[in-house]
Amino acid sequence: MLDLTPLELKDFLEEKYDLYNRESFIGSDPIQIIKQFKRKEDIEIAGFMSASIAWGQRQTIIRNAQQLMELMGQQPYHFVMTASDSDFDVFKGFKHRTFNGEDCIFFLKSLRNIYKNHAGLESVFTSGRKQTGDVKGAISYFRKVFFEINHPQRTEKHISNVDKKSAAKRINMFLRWMVRKDERAVDLGLWTGIKSADLFLPLDVHTGNVGRKLGLLTRKQNDWPAVDEITSNLRKLDPKDPVKYDFALFGLGIFEKF
């Protein structure tokens, strides 16, 4: 563990945040998928689907996420809202790790239900935040809405369950994309119902390991209590925008093998 004072730690992470929160970061990150779109609903659906398969090799994630966009004719919202049952058949052969065509088709049908009956993704997360008081509760609420329609049991594993202590890395990353806003515009900052201050770190192996080396995390498992711990410590460094340090921790882990 590095022995840094709180001020030294903040300066170090600010420097790395400045280094990695740049347009050049987009070229190697799944966020590039959503940068193709201008319409809010297209961005949300592209972002949600890309984040949902964001585990494994980054180039494979990007390639498979781009395939999803192409299968939707580069019009995610239009496809989700107008596709017939037979139109969904093009996804039957899709596969990313354990996420298969059956999962994909349900995800798209659930998104249709959310846009038709719940006023869209932002509305669901914002409602959940208001009802429960925090973003963890919003994620839990979203999961209930997502699976309120008939679904394959196997698909439940692809939406993290924070009530069972899941770290929910992919959902937290999606929320970072949608909520965070800064002058660099790597994240999109589309949503106004949730504040950057309320977000939680998208904790994964890399950010967890770096966090432990920097004394930001003591818990050994990468689960929700670990997410809570490391985010609480990052809030001490920047209460208004704690998850901006995701760029620093991820960059240190992936690019610098810290």
pLDDT digits (tens, 9 = 90+) for 96-128: 999 999 999 999 999 999 999 999 999 999 999
Give the span between the Cα atoms of 191 and 196, in whole angstroms: 10
First to last CA, the chain: 11
Angle at 191 between CA 121 and CA 16, to 5 degrees: 115
Long-range pairs, 44-48, Cβ under 8 A, ≥24: 44/77, 44/120, 44/121, 44/122, 44/178, 44/190, 45/76, 45/77, 45/80, 45/111, 45/121, 46/76, 47/174, 47/177, 47/178, 47/188, 48/111, 48/121, 48/174
Predicted confidence at residue 204, as pLDDT, reads 95
- Residue 21: the pLDDT is 93
pTM: 0.96
* pLDDT > 90 in the chain, percent: 90
pLDDT at site 190: 96
Domain boundaries, the chain: 6-254
pLDDT at position 93 is 95
CA-to-CA separations, 29 to 2, 34, 81, in angstroms, rounded: 28, 11, 27
At 130 the pLDDT is 97
pLDDT (0 to 100) of residue 258: 84
Q: What is the mean pLDDT of residues 43-64?
A: 95
User: What was the pLDDT predicted at 29?
Assistant: 87
Mean pLDDT of the chain: 95
Whose tokens are 């963890």? That residue is 136
DSSP string, 83-127: --TGGGGGGTT-EETTEEHHHHHHHHHHHHHHHHHSS-HHHHHHH
**Chain-centroid distance, C-alpha 3:** 31
Percent of the chain with pLDDT over 70: 100
Angle at which helix 245-254 crosses helix 6-20, to 10 degrees, equals 80
Q: What is the 3-state composition of the chain as percent helix, strand, coil, each rounded to the nearest 5? A: 65, 0, 35
